[in-house]
Amino acid sequence: MRDLCGREIDYVRVSITDRCNLRCVYCMPEKGVASMRHGDVLTYEEIVRTVRALASLGIRHVRVTGGEPMARRGCLDLVERIHVIPGIETVSMTTNGLLLAGRVAWAREAGLDALNISLDTLDPDAYRRITRGGDVAQVLQTMDEALSLGMRVKVNAVPVRGLNEDGLTALAALAREHPIQVRFIELMPLGCGAALEPIPSDEIVSRMTSAFGPMQPDAQCHGFGPAQYFRPEGFAGSIGVISPMSHAFCGRCNRVRLTADGFLKLCLNHTAGLDVRSLLRSGAEDSALLDALREAILRKPLSHGFTEAIGDRESRRMNQIGG
């Protein structure tokens, strides 16, 4: 369906948990945070019902996220249930890859089409510092398993000044040998990330040009989001940048988010949306759910408002919103 700004909304990110096995410095405090109460989190039955309604409105692509989605028991069973919903064309997952190691074949059989693996550096010590305890070797094992099974793989990295900038070209070089997309995502001023200094996408492209030569645009479609892709000469894959701050793409945003506690977020930085959980648990009929979802999506905000004064600015952390 189209919202009132004329944007085609065909993509939903479904967070199934706010829990994570890591404590990345731009996402969570070192000692962690209080998790949502079990009863506040949508059941898988409620998620499936909501996605089925969204599919009838034109949602075609579902990304399962967290927190870390694999931290919730039965995650791959949910993938299988979403995969068979009429109208859903792709099901993907954003994951740190640690809890998926050794289980990628199961995920593939369940209907998972693609993985976005969060990986900010290849340096084992730097990775441990950024994630506060993760093992990068396990992440790379998951990537290799997925590639061996023919899955589409993207690597998501958040460049942060003074944190991982020295290893960004080494990370991008993964795409020279492997048919993957390494994407650099500008840090947004949300939660713990607001205290850190982002590296703008233009600087990333300049660094990559210096390291690999001309950054020729990659016209091949690599998904359904806002990334801009380049393929240096000799690369099996490509390098991407996602620039919500320096080159806002709000005018072509095609997504909404369903948080783990059942709130349909229309924009990352706005609190506007729909309390789906209350609707579901108040006994709403499918027709009422559908009407409420349609009405909410129609009013998706025009822009994220990170650089201006807005009255409904989001204050929660990314693990609570959905990565």
Strands (E), 46-146: 61-65, 90-95, 114-118
Alpha-carbon span 138 to 98, nearest angstrom: 6
Q: Dihedral sign, CA of 244, 219, 238, 221?
A: positive
**Amino acid at the residue 13:** R
> Domain residue spans in the chain?
11-321
Q: Dihedral sign, CA of 112, 116, 122, 123?
A: negative
pLDDT at 113: 96
pLDDT at 78: 98
The topology under which CATH files domain 11-321 is: TIM Barrel (3.20.20)
- Of the candidates 54, 69, 60, the one whose C-alpha atom is nearest the C-alpha of residue 276 is 54
pLDDT at 216: 92
DSSP per residue, 242-278: E-TTTS--GGG--EEEE-TTSEEESSTTB--EEEHHH
Q: Which residues have a Cβ under 8 Å from the Cβ of 257 and sit 6 or more positions away? A: 12, 13, 14, 15, 264, 265, 268, 321, 322
pLDDT at 319: 64
- Of the candidates 19, 82, 36, 8, the one whose C-alpha atom is nearest the C-alpha of residue 277 is 36
Strand-strand pairing, 61-65 and 90-95: parallel
Alpha-carbon span 238 to 178, nearest angstrom: 9
The residues that bridge with 238 in the sheet, in sequence order, are 181
pLDDT at 258: 97
Ordered mean pLDDT values, 10 residues apiece, the chain (323 residues): 95 96 88 87 98 98 97 98 98 97 97 97 97 96 97 97 96 97 89 87 97 93 84 97 80 92 88 94 97 97 65 60 65
Q: Give the largest Cα separation in the chain, rounded.
A: 59
The residues that bridge with 61 in the sheet, in sequence order, are 11, 90
Q: What is the DSSP letter of 227?
A: -
The residues that bridge with 91 in the sheet, in sequence order, are 62
